[in-house]
Structure 1
Amino acid sequence: MAEKIETKQSGLWENVKVIIQALLLAVVIRTVFFQPFTIPSGSMMPTLLVGDYIFVNKFAYGYSKYSLPFAPDLFEGRIFASEPERGDVIVFRFPPNPDLDYIKRLIGLPGDKVQVRDSILYVNNKAVQRVPDGVFRADGQYNTGDDVPVFRETLDNGVNFDTLDQFPDSSTDNTREFIVPAGHYFMMGDNRDNSADSRLDVGFVPAQNLVGRASLIFFSLGNSTSFLEVWKWPANLRYDRIFKGVE
């Protein structure tokens, strides 16, 4: 009888060890390599949609305290740092409140001059190439019933992507000139008229606030469908977006 009890306890302890090891492995992967995020707003449409689930590459730019759970104040700056490239889609901590994660596209590097004039983006006094690229209509809560003009922009390093310009005369279609300070970056949403970004309250983003580069959409649910509403998945899965790279 005692032998049976010992066998059961030994089996239970083995199961506990497996669970602990799995949890530790998950923490290491999330902290060092890839972290999943959900897109909660339309600021990056049409590149990223509400209901997209993405993996963020956390070793792309090295590590800061914000790479770690609960952001312990263990060190300043970044270790194993590498520079992001103009056009990268980046998750970062919101400078006025680092408890919040934001996702935007990197437009301005340290020392750059950035300005928007009559909806045209200028970087270092040079207009970014911008050509019409059809129309876009969101689903779910962002579906206004109207088609929104899409423009394909091409940066000086060849990175190109679609942006939305729903209101050509909005307050963010004409801005002052921003000069990006050393150790900081200028971020913009691809949904140019509906994005709180460096033109507004986000301001310049310190290098240590970068969390990682958005790399892959691994799952996507449309029409404001909750992940827990499994019975709605067949009708609302965006099959064409699953395992799509973020560009």
Structure 2
Amino acid sequence: MSKRTEDFTVEPTERIQKTLARCGLGSRRQIEAAIKLGQIQINRQAVQLGQKLQVGDKITWKNRGWVVESEAVQPRVLMYHKPLGQVTTRKDEKGRPTVFDALPSLKGQKWLNIGRLDINTTGLLLFTTDGDFANHMMHPSANIDREYACRVFGEVTEETLERLLAGVELEDGVARFSDIQPAGDEERGANKWFHVAIMEGKNREVRRLWESQNVQVNRLKRVRYGGVFLPKGLRQGKHRELNQKELDILFKDTHYEPQAATLVVRTLKKGRR
């Protein structure tokens, strides 16, 4: 009698504090403190810090109960057209408006910014609900370029452009544009428009590169992040979420593979605890 081989799926596991925090039950610090005080139980047993959850585990805390389930959850990605005067932070100590003020609210999740734009830079900002995807998009090893439209004031020669493409020593290391293209007609005086691309997102990198050549940037707008372009119809201060087709293209272009499944918690009825 031959043995029968059955197909099976390996269910995900994850540390309890990470799952509960991601599902919006509290901050990691709050959850870790509750674990240390013995307030959280799994299957009626005290939890150890760092203990991993599995599908089917039953959690009790604060006289409430949850069951652990597996769910396919893709990162959500939002594009936002940042106007002047907003800062890329959740809260600003100076009381200035932030980019998060204009974003749609989420239940059990939060928007994470992919990169930053300074207060005087407009254009495309991307947000996601997935920290792993955000880190992937920002990491230099991913080789994802950003494109900016910039209006500059000063003398720009062929030698200037060659130096900016070859690399310039800044205070935090060598930086360069990966591409520079003239854009539009020249304005009065010494103002010129260029489209430039960079592979990293260092603080004020585009401005500092031009300033290293005694050229001042007086308008700066990000128009592309990797394969995501700022839509012409997306007005400043407005946002739009990427659809499934756009997400598939983005993941493919950036060589990112979303998790097949992740752990979530569902509220248990009292009779099932």
Same fold (TM over 0.5): no
What TM-score results when the alignment is normalised by the length of structure 1?
0.25
Structure whose alpha-carbon radius of gyration is higher: 2
What TM-score results when the alignment is normalised by the length of structure 2?
0.23
